[in-house]
């Protein structure tokens, strides 16, 4: 009861601050005045004040170069909103051009986002999804000044666009671009943008992760992003993510959220990628990508262990295209790329994203792991085409006995040697070897990613030419620990891991 009275008394006191001018309120005011007049010692907070001033300096120096971007375009939509009343609607159904149905009409679409100026003449970098199909683009500065802008180019794969202020007589403030490859997890991160159209909002956090593989842009596949817990919300897209020195190290692009608002998981495009893409859009009119001419895949713990690795960091080369830069450099399937020019490679997507910062003809120095030993390989990069990898050279591995095999119900995998009928069903160029003929749903084989029609070329480091060999190797293997498979599928080779249920 005593605690209850104290709680009720405190509630009354709080309410009294706003509604009463009696003795209690006067006494409280007197106490507050006395507290304000007391000397404050800040010596112990010098470090905190220095950090606070650093945030203030970043906001003051970067915000003038951050703009609000408004995009407008017209789009065909379906609906009934163009009809003013039911008579109009009935006339449409009975006399409309198609004799009825849901009408189509043109409607204005708008989007809001952010961007930042990178050249004094008004070149702005933002997200491709911010400008969308824009027919009209307007940028608004911190002081409320607006300018029309035109789209220079956009790349939906990386979700980067470049626009330019049309007024060529002005000189505009610019940001300083940093080095996203030099970032470390735990560094301060400062986001500036226009969340929910609230102009020039500054939020702070840290770099939560690097090389985060996320698929954001439609058709772009998974890319490598900076993850931050600095609050990012709709409208922040295209705005800068800065370090404590005020350098832009990323472009805020997306959030992970179940509510539509920030829950502390935001993603930014590394600025080193944005530099290359923006330069290409301005100077070439399109993005010229560099690549190895190889197919790479990420490592899971089981696959990494099978190669003698203690972590999943690295990109596993599974296929080399004939005549490619990778082949000329001597790279082989099974090589694991650990770093490029001294920068660690976290995953296959991280390697592909890092290569976005290179140009064709440039030499990249790779650290690879092959047969348990590290070595250095220099690759003169080729122009990357947005097409599927070309088929690898067919391997003539010897004879066949047309035997069939079944790994057992525990794995749910059936396979057999290639018969003339099976060869006719396989894609052209298929190498010899046992072919997967059946996968039981929900089985370990299904979980491994194997598919009917896959040609199994190796188990671990053991090459295969027949189903009988595959039988013998699987019987000798500890399937509780699992085995690494090297398979051919539709013209490319890849690795997978097959493990019995523990």
Residues serving a catalytic function are 129, 159, 237
Look up residue 395 and give its two tokens.
């391997």
The CA distance from 337 to 296, in Å, is 9
Contacts by residues 422-431 (CB-CB < 8 Å, ≥ 24 positions apart): 425/453, 426/453, 426/455, 427/391, 427/490, 427/491, 428/391, 429/391, 429/394, 429/491, 430/394, 430/455, 430/488, 431/394, 431/395, 431/396, 431/397, 431/455, 431/457, 431/488
DSSP-based three-state secondary structure for 20? coil
Residue 494 exposure: Cα atoms within 13 Å on the Cβ side? 18
Q: Do 446 and 457 meet the contact criterion of CB atoms below 8 Å apart?
A: no
Q: Do 444 and 501 meet the contact criterion of CB atoms below 8 Å apart?
A: yes
Partners of 155 in beta bridges: 160
What kind and span of H or E run contains 316? strand 315-320
Sign of the CA dihedral 205, 211, 212, 214? positive
The CA distance from 230 to 234, in Å, is 13
Q: Do 66 and 241 meet the contact criterion of CB atoms below 8 Å apart?
A: no
- Using a 10 angstrom Cβ sphere, with 0-12 exposed, 13-18 middle and 19 or more buried, the burial of residue 293 is buried
């Amino acid at each position: 009861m005593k605690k209850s009275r104290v709680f009720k008394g405190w509630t009354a006191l709080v309410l009294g601050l706003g509604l009463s001018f009696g003795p209690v309120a006067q006494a409280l005011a007197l106490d507050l005045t006395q507290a304000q007049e007391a000397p404050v010692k800040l010596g112990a907070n010098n470090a905190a004040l220095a950090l606070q001033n650093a945030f203030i300096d970043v906001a003051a120096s970067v915000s003038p170069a951050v703009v609000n971007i408004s995009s407008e375009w017209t789009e065909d939509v379906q609906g009934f909103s163009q009809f003013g009343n039911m008579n109009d609607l009935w006339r449409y159904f009975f006399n409309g051009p198609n004799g009825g149905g849901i009408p189509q009409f043109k409607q204005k679409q708008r989007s809001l986002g952010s961007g930042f100026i990178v050249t004094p003449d008004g070149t702005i970098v933002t997200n491709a999804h911010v400008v969308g199909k824009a027919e009209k683009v307007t940028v608004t500065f911190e002081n409320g000044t607006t300018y029309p802008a035109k789209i220079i180019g956009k790349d939906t794969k990386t979700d980067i666009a470049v626009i330019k202020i049309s007024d060529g007589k002005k000189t505009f403030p610019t940001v300083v671009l940093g080095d996203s490859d030099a970032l470390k997890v735990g560094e301060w991160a400062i986001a500036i943008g226009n969340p929910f159209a609230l102009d020039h909002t500054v939020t702070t956090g840290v770099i939560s992760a690097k090389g985060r593989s996320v698929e954001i842009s439609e058709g772009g596949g998974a890319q490598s992003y900076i993850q931050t817990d600095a609050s990012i919300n709709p409208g922040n897209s295209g705005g800068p993510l800065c370090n404590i020195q005020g350098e832009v190290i990323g472009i805020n692009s997306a959030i992970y959220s179940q509510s539509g608002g920030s829950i502390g998981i935001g993603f930014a495009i590394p600025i080193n990628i944005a530099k290359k893409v923006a330069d290409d859009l301005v100077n070439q009119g399109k993005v010229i990508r560099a690549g190895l001419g190889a197919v790479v895949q990420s490592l899971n713990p089981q696959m990494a262990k099978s190669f003698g690795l203690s972590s999943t960091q690295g990109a596993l080369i599974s296929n080399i295209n004939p005549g490619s830069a990778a082949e000329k450099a001597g790279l082989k399937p099974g090589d694991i790329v650990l770093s490029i020019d001294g920068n660690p490679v976290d995953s296959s997507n991280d390697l592909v994203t890092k290569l976005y910062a290179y140009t064709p003809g440039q030499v990249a120095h790779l650290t690879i792991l092959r047969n348990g030993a590290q070595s250095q390989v220099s690759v003169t990069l080729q122009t990357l085409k947005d097409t599927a990898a070309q088929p690898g050279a067919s391997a003539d591995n010897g004879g066949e006995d047309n035997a069939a095999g079944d790994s057992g119900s525990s794995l749910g995998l059936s396979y057999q040697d290639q018969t003339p009928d099976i060869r006719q069903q396989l894609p052209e160029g298929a190498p010899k070897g046992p072919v997967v003929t059946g996968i039981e749903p929900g089985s370990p084989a299904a979980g491994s990613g194997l598919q009917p029609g896959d040609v199994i070329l190796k188990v671990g480091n053991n090459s295969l030419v027949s189903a009988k060999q595959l039988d013998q190797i699987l019987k000798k293997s500890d399937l509780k620990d699992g085995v690494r498979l090297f398979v051919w599928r539709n013209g490319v080779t890849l690795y997978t891991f097959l493990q019995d249920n523990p």
